[in-house]
Amino acid sequence: MKVAVIGAGTMGHGIAQVSAMAGYDVWMYDLSQEILNSAMSRIRDSLNKFYAKGVVKDVEQVISRIRPTASLEEALSGSELMVEASPEILEVKVDIFRKAERLSERGSVLATNTSSLPITEIADSINEKGRVIGLHFFNPPQLMKLVEVIKSVYTTDETLNMSLDFVNRLSKKAVIVKKDVPGFVVNRLLARLMNASCQLLEKNYASMIEIDSAVKYKLGFPMGVFELADYSGVDVFYLVFKAMKDRGFRGDVCPTFEKMFSEKKFGVKTGEGFYSYPGKGVYKKPEIPKEAGTGFDPWLVAAPEVGEAFWLMKTDTASESDIDTASMLGLGYPKGIVQMGREFGLENVKDRIKKMAEITGKEEYSYLLQFLE
Ligand code: 3HC
């Protein structure tokens, strides 16, 4: 089966790789040979790591299933499933979907990995709207087991079933997001965590290291908040949060993200973000000592995330168990965020959200409280 992956950046190259690992023939498109070469070399590095662990038996065989191409037409012609992972610009995506509708196999799935644009808006740009669906992977796609599956108002059951089959064959876990809301599930949770952390930093209430250390060592999150922003890209999160806000998400984007975006301090990819890295695209884990977080209460930044989880449940966007699965498999949390909140105590969660309202003076916190009642 021919899978077309459109875009060979951080997400696209990973999606192409896991598809090839699952046995699909993959055509990976991007604008230039240079980008494609860099994507292939990242794929090779990742496959070598998997080979060393016995996860992949034959690196060359997997590589041979991936065909890099700078021709969009070549990638899409006769494809039986497309995953689009291009920049988060609606016009760019619309152009790809229009071509895909024409060139791919009739009735095949046209999926987008968008993290912020409504699936329905993308579907609206083509005739066969029922073929469009959101398949939202997480960074790094090679390791994160979650795929959010988002239906537009038009998605047919056939498209949904073919997509679920694809996700299963990649050995990933699908969580169905019932409503096409801005940020779906995981990015709504992250928006609360990251913005709360950033606001405390701006208010000089806590330092970056204090916050990162406390969420890692007291809550057991796999990365600090700012460490994760750098890892996946400050630019990525800024654009996602801004698109969410533009479409009605109740929460401001923290100005520090905007400033860093304009200064091109994107994190690992530019060599400079909240932390510094040895070079552009050269990843080295930041030093985050355990003792640094002793004096900081990480629930100040995690409680708004629990509040958002309750928003998702009360609006019937996702079930409690799906939200917990999503936070464990998409964000690597040791337990689901709702379970963590319940174990901490919902009265304590509310107390921390009220404290955030006091510290920041932001309306979004009183808004969140009503969903915990
Ligand atoms: N391919 C294969 N193996 C890889 C790899 C890759 N791309 N990247 C890392 N590895 C391997 C490492 O070599 C290491 O192997 P080892 O145990 O043999 O040394 C192992 O994976 C663990 O990696 P690290 O030691 O570097 O670091 P961690 O233990 O912290 O694990 C992590 C890395 C799985 C990324 C973990 O830190 C994590 O879960 N972090 C949270 C990531 C997250 O939240 N992602 C979602 C971001 S939001 C998003 O994507 C949505 C978008 O819309 C914005």
Cβ atoms 171, 148 nearer than 8 A: no
35 pLDDT higher than 90? yes
- How far CA 105 is from CA of 12, 101, 109, 264, 373, in Å, comes to 21, 8, 9, 40, 49
User: Is 139's C-beta closer than 6 angstroms to any atom of ligand 1?
Assistant: yes
Ligand 1, residue 140: give the atom nearest the CA: 7
The pLDDT of 346-368, averaged and rounded, is: 97
29 pLDDT higher than 90? yes
107 pLDDT higher than 90? yes
- Residue-level pLDDT at 343: 98
Q: Which DSSP string corresponds to 64-115?
A: HTEEEES-HHHHHTT-SEEEE---S-HHHHHHHHHHHHHHSPTT-EEEE--S
User: Is 18's C-beta closer than 6 angstroms to any atom of ligand 1?
Assistant: no
User: Is 145's C-beta closer than 6 angstroms to any atom of ligand 1?
Assistant: no
Buried/exposed 115-148: b ≥16 CB within 10 Å, e otherwise = bbbbbbbbbebbebbbbbbbbbbbbbbbebebbb
The pLDDT of 172-178, averaged and rounded, is: 96
Query: Which pair of tokens denotes residue 8?
Result: 């060979």
Which residue CA neighbors atom 44 of ligand 1 most closely?
A: 331
Picking from 118, 120, 119, 127, the residue whose alpha carbon sits closest to that of residue 100 is 127
Going from the N-terminus, what domains does the chain have, and what CATH number goes with each? Answer: 2-177 (3.40.50.720), 186-372 (1.10.1040.50)
Which residue CA neighbors atom 2 of ligand 1 most closely?
A: 46
**Pocket probe mutation, ligand 1, options 185, 223, 328, max atoms within 8 Å of Cβ:** 223
The pLDDT of 177-185, averaged and rounded, is: 95
- Centre of ligand 1 to C-alpha 227, Å, is 12
- Centre of ligand 1 to C-alpha 140, Å, is 6
| 250-294 pLDDT, tens digit each | 999 999 999 999 999 999 999 999 999 999 999 999 999 999 999
Which residue CA neighbors atom 34 of ligand 1 most closely?
A: 143
- Residue-level pLDDT at 14: 98
- Residue-level pLDDT at 232: 96
CA 110-151-251 angle, to 5 degrees, is 115
- Angle at which helices 337-344 and 346-360 cross, to 10°: 100
The pLDDT of 329-341, averaged and rounded, is: 98
The pLDDT of 99-126, averaged and rounded, is: 96
Q: Sorting pLDDT into bands at 50, 70 and 90, what band is 19?
A: very high
d(CA 183, CA 187): 5
Residues pairing with 148 in the sheet: 136, 175
**Pocket probe mutation, ligand 1, options 55, 143, 335, max atoms within 8 Å of Cβ:** 143
User: Is 17's C-beta closer than 6 angstroms to any atom of ligand 1?
Assistant: no
The pLDDT of 48-63, averaged and rounded, is: 98
- Residue-level pLDDT at 116: 87
The catalytic residue among 79, 187, 195, 327 is 187
- Centre of ligand 1 to C-alpha 297, Å, is 25
The pLDDT of 124-134, averaged and rounded, is: 98
- Contacts of the segment 188-191: beta carbons below 8 A, 24+ positions apart: 188/244, 188/249, 188/308, 188/311, 188/312, 189/305, 189/308, 189/309, 189/323, 189/326, 189/327, 189/331, 189/337, 190/228, 190/237, 190/305, 190/331, 191/240, 191/241, 191/244, 191/249, 191/251, 191/308
Place of tokens 């598809």: 19
pTM above threshold 0.85: yes
d(CA 194, CA 199): 9
Quote the percentage of the chain above a pLDDT of 90.
Answer: 99
Q: Sorting pLDDT into bands at 50, 70 and 90, what band is 198?
A: very high
Strands 173-177 and 109-112: unpaired
Confirm whether 343 is a catalytic residue: no
User: Is 46's C-beta closer than 6 angstroms to any atom of ligand 1?
Assistant: yes
**Pocket probe mutation, ligand 1, options 41, 43, 49, 171, max atoms within 8 Å of Cβ:** 49
Q: Sorting pLDDT into bands at 50, 70 and 90, what band is 104?
A: very high
Cβ atoms 126, 101 nearer than 8 A: yes
Confirm whether 187 is a catalytic residue: yes
